[in-house]
Amino acid sequence: AQKITQTQPGMFVQEKEAVTLDCTYDTSDQSYGLFWYKQPSSGEMIFLIYQGSYDEQNATEGRYSLNFQKARKSANLVISASQLGDSAMYFCAMREGLSGSARQLTFGSGTQLTVLP
């Protein structure tokens, strides 16, 4: 079974509007971490936001917020006030195990976001 599922291969959003990128995950671990990365066409992976499984508050980082619904096992990324520079591939990822563990990340298939002027 897929551990990380991103059901939106592509998304379009008008500049200055908000957009939600979906991510659901599957794990039997009680401790895990959820990450979102942005990958522009250059290939680099840019860390956006992190949510720990025990964090009670939704993570926020500037225009990025993570809508964490633990019971539904979803960790959607919300980008507010979209900018043209936000156009990129976005990956949701999960690290199973305790924070600080050396476990690898498992990635979803990604969502290609295009911001329209």
Q: Which residues bind other proteins (CB under 8 A)?
A: 33, 35, 37, 42-45, 47, 50, 52, 91, 93, 95, 99-100, 102, 104-110
> Residue 97, by phi and psi: left (phi above 0), alpha (psi -120 to 50) or beta?
left
Distance in Å, CB of 17 to other proteins, minimum: 25
Closer residue to other proteins, CB minimum distance, 64 or 107: 107
Distance in Å, CB of 65 to other proteins, minimum: 17
Other C-beta atoms closer than 10 Å to the C-beta of 63 total: 14
DSSP, collapsed to helix, strand or coil, labels residue 52 as strand
Measured CA to CA in angstroms, residue 52 lies from 10, 30, 94 at distances of: 26, 10, 10
Closer residue to other proteins, CB minimum distance, 12 or 14: 12
Closer residue to other proteins, CB minimum distance, 67 or 112: 112
